[in-house]
Amino acid sequence: MGATVVQVLDGLVTALRTIDGLRCYDRPADLTAAPAAFTLLEAVDFQNAFALGDPRMEITVTVIVARTSDRAAYERMSEYVAPTGSRSVRAAIEADRTLGGVCQTLIVQRADNIRSVSQGDAEYLAVDFGLTVHA
C-alpha cells in the first residue's frame, strides 16, 4: 500500500484546517467544541487492482455545528455542505487530491446522514462526508 491510514487521516486534517474556525481531529473526539470535524476509517479494499496496486480506503469525515437554534445550525451546515466556497468541506479536501503527495487521488462522494447529536448537555447538528481515497 502506498499511503498508510495515519498518513491519509493526517492529510485530511491538514486539508480541513484550511477552513477558518473549524476544529479538526484525526479520530472521533469525546467532547468537542463546535464547529468541528473528525475522520473515521470505514474500510480498506485491497483487491481494487492487481498486486495491491490501488488499495482503496473508504473514509467518513463528520462535521458538527452547534445547535443553538435550528435555523442558525442549518445555515452554518449549508456552508460546509456547499460544493464550493471558503467553508466547503468538499472544496477544502479536493483542493489537493493527493493530500500533499500522500495518496494517488481522492474524491468526496457525498454528504449525507444529516442528524441531531447530543453530547453531554449540548445539542449539535452533524453531517457525514463519504470519501474514497486511492492510496
pLDDT (tens digit per residue) in 44-71: 888 766 566 678 999 999 999 999 888 9
Residue 2 has pLDDT above 80, yes or no: no
Which pLDDT does position 89 carry in this prediction? Answer: 98
User: 0.75 cut: is pTM over it?
Assistant: yes
- Pair type for strands 56-66 and 122-134: antiparallel
Which pLDDT does position 52 carry in this prediction? Answer: 62
Which pLDDT does position 38 carry in this prediction? Answer: 94
SS3 label, residue 47:
helix
Q: Check if the beta carbon of residue 16 is closer than 8 Å to that of residue 93.
A: yes
Helices (H), the chain: 5-16, 70-81, 89-94
The pLDDT tens digits for 88-129 are 999 999 999 999 999 999 999 999 999 999 888 889 999 999
The whole-angstrom separation of Cα 124 and Cα 51 is 44
Which pLDDT does position 10 carry in this prediction? Answer: 95
Domains of the chain from N-terminus onward: 5-115+123-134 (3.30.70.1700)
Q: Cα torsion at 99, 78, 61, 129 (round to 10°)?
A: -90
Taking residue 71's Cβ as centre, other Cβ atoms within 10 Å add up to 8
Cell of 64: 458538527
H or E element that contains 128: strand 122-134
Which pLDDT does position 26 carry in this prediction? Answer: 87
Q: Which residues pair with 59 in a beta bridge?
A: 41, 131
